[in-house]
Chain A
Amino acid sequence: MSELSRLFHVARADFSYFFRTKWLMAVLISLSVSDMLVTALVYRGLMNFDYFRFLVPGIVVAGLFSAATDTGRRIWLALREGVVQYYMTLPIRTSGLVVAYILSGGLGGIVYSSFLLVIALAVVPHQGIVNALLIIPFMFVLSTGIAGLSAFLASISRRGEIYWVYAQGLQVSMVTISTVFYPAQTIEGFLPGPVATIARYNPLSLAAGALRDSGFGGNPLDLSVLGTLLAASLPLAVSGALAYWVILRTIRLRGKP
């Protein structure tokens, strides 16, 4: 068996672990679907624009974020429960193990958000279903980036509670300071300039914007936006992979993370 197929085996095992965690699935699905079908719908009655149409694509991206960040929790659990030591006895390079985790995190995010995208396409009028499908590979890269970021946070967390703090911080900084829930103009009119700029170039904002404009709005795909999305996501994936690799190396040297 080649190194590559072993890598895919490990990725598949971790990927299936994500979907086997019933309580997590219940949390994600109930939050995402109720946000789409209840929150977005009720807020539409409170606003002067079609907030339902605005928020639902945002929820697809927020779901991708939540699913991809679970990579960090799984890495932390693997470190705590010693599964990582089992992985380290398998005939696969350390770098292969790292890539497998980032890959499965990316897959978890994209599979889950694709499920949400199907619901979104069913409930929101859309004019660019092909564009929506074309955006998916870019969202996969975004998902690996977020998985990498959460892997990075898990790798630098000595205790589970600390990882939880970091994850909450990540959630607040990335989802709240983005255009997932509110239009860019609203942010620019209220938050200071640098924060508004961060929100505009936040990869979640870019993905949500691309889905709204091209996937649902029918506008042609903006390649510069998708290019920026890749440029913003790849360094996150690389940094996470590097941090996880350092942790595995530390385990080999010190016997613990």
Chain B
Amino acid sequence: MHAVETLNLSKKYGKTDALRGLNFEVEEGEIMVILGPNGSGKTTLLMILCTILKPTSGIAKVVGIDVAKEGTKVREVMGIAFQEARGFWRHKPSSILRFHASMFDIDPTKRQDLIDQTMKDLELWESRDKLFMHLSGGQAKRLETAKVLVQRPKLAIFDEPTSQVDLRGKRKIWDKIKELRNQGSTIIVATNEVREAEYLADRVTILHQGQRVVCDTIPHLKDAIAGGDVVEVDFEDPVSARLSEELKSLGGSVALSPQGNQMRAMVSRAEDWVPKMTSASYNQGAKISSIKITEPSLDDVFMQFTGTTLEDKP
């Protein structure tokens, strides 16, 4: 049985299709990262899984329970940290966490210790006497994560868990999410941050315009794109149209910067392609100032499968 499974899942808001026949599975005990730009349908999918939204058609199941038919049962095994923190404005963080813990039957004898420890781990301890409405954006966001960490649900969902959080805080949250997985929870993280996805994901699902484009482990995804090496070349002067054509004919996918003096190529084997490129450049009189060979990033993967970058609007 999958921890999460959707079959032909669709959601329409009026005439807008947020999800279009999505098929998606998450295995028990894995961290699945859903990667997609704003408007790709990530949040809609999560809202359906946590039973806030009803699907227009199709099926969604969490640990085998249909979200549309048995919402209350799903909510007993699932916890979500929203993209925008949702808290009682006039309550303190510890009081919000106590409420949450009691709603999910956390052992009353261990409850307070767990809450205190989680607040310390996420650096909320100093803010424990502030009202929710007085927390900073980053603190509210960490509190949102803390709710799920205290709850330790079978399925934990994090919607952009580190937006508004500083770099140090991001690393803490990521480590706590991994720890939660190690304790047996299945995790879904929705993000448009490549670094977050690369740090956390066991597998990545790329969503684009309400559909699943691809789903696999990061190494497999990187291997799947043309060749797997990225070569970045800086020329002293803009390259000629003739050289550009010649470089493109060497294979791989070649893109020139708007100024024409920088080139980024995704090629199958850099060690074969680079000598050919330098030879062609020498013959055309183009001077090379630097060459850098790297692995493709998830952004490159995203570009390969969707034709757009993560920062672009869908």
Contact = CB atoms under 8 A, between A and B. Distances in A.
A195 interface: no
A90 B84 contact: no
Given A9-B99, A89-B79, A91-B104, A254 B13 contact: yes
Interface stretch (A13-21, A144-152, A198-206): A13-21
Given A81-B89, A82-B84, A83-B87, A88 B72 contact: no
Given A1-B103, A9-B102, A13-B99, A20 B90 contact: yes
Contacts of B99: 9, 13
B51 interface: yes
Contact of B76 (A82, A88, A91, A254): A91
Interface in A1-25: 1, 3, 6, 9-10, 13, 16-17, 20-21
Contact of A81 (B51, B75, B86, B104): B86
A17 B133 CA distance: 12
A21 B84 CA distance: 22
A255 B53 contact: yes
Interface in A221-257: 251-255
B70 to A, nearest CB: 11
A88 B72 CA distance: 9
Contact of A13 (B72, B73, B88): B88
Given A251-B52, A252-B52, A83 B86 contact: yes
A86 B103 contact: no
A111 B96 CA distance: 23
A158 interface: no
Interface residues of A, number: 27
Contacts of A90: 75, 103
Contacts of B91: 13, 16-17, 20
A85 B90 CA distance: 17
B86 A6 contact: no
A92 B103 CA distance: 9
B103 A255 contact: no
Contacts of A91: 72-73, 75-76, 103-104
Given A1-B103, A1-B105, A17-B91, A89 B80 contact: yes
A253 B51 contact: no
Nearest to A93: B72
A6 B102 CA distance: 8
B110 to A, nearest CB: 15
A160 to B, nearest CB: 14
Contacts of B80: 89
B84 A255 contact: no
Contacts of B13: 254-255
A254 B18 CA distance: 11
Contact of B78 (A10, A20, A86, A89): A89
Contact of A89 (B51, B54, B88, B105): B51
Nearest to B13: A255
Interface string B11-23: 0010000000000
B160 to A, nearest CB: 14
Interface in B273-299: none
A82 B52 CA distance: 11
A151 B225 CA distance: 55
B4 interface: no
Interface string B98-135: 01001111000000000000000000000000000000
B82 interface: yes
Contacts of A10: 103
Contact of B88 (A3, A83, A254): A83
Interface of B: 13, 44, 47, 50-54, 71-73, 75-76, 78-80, 82, 84, 86-91, 99, 102-105
30 contacts: A3-B72, A10-B103, A13-B88, A17-B88, A17-B89, A17-B91, A81-B86, A81-B89, A82-B82, A83-B86, A83-B87, A85-B52, A85-B82, A86-B87, A88-B51, A88-B52, A89-B50, A89-B75, A89-B78, A90-B75, A90-B103, A91-B104, A92-B72, A92-B75, A93-B71, A251-B52, A252-B51, A252-B54, A255-B44, A255-B53
Interface of A: 1, 3, 6, 9-10, 13, 16-17, 20-21, 77, 81-83, 85-86, 88-93, 251-255
Nearest first, the 10 A-B pairs at minimum CB distance are A86-B86, A20-B90, A91-B76, A91-B75, A82-B86, A252-B54, A1-B105, A88-B52, A89-B50, A90-B103
Given A88-B52, A91-B76, 11 more contacts: A1-B105, A3-B72, A21-B90, A82-B84, A85-B86, A86-B86, A92-B103, A93-B71, A252-B54, A255-B44, A255-B53
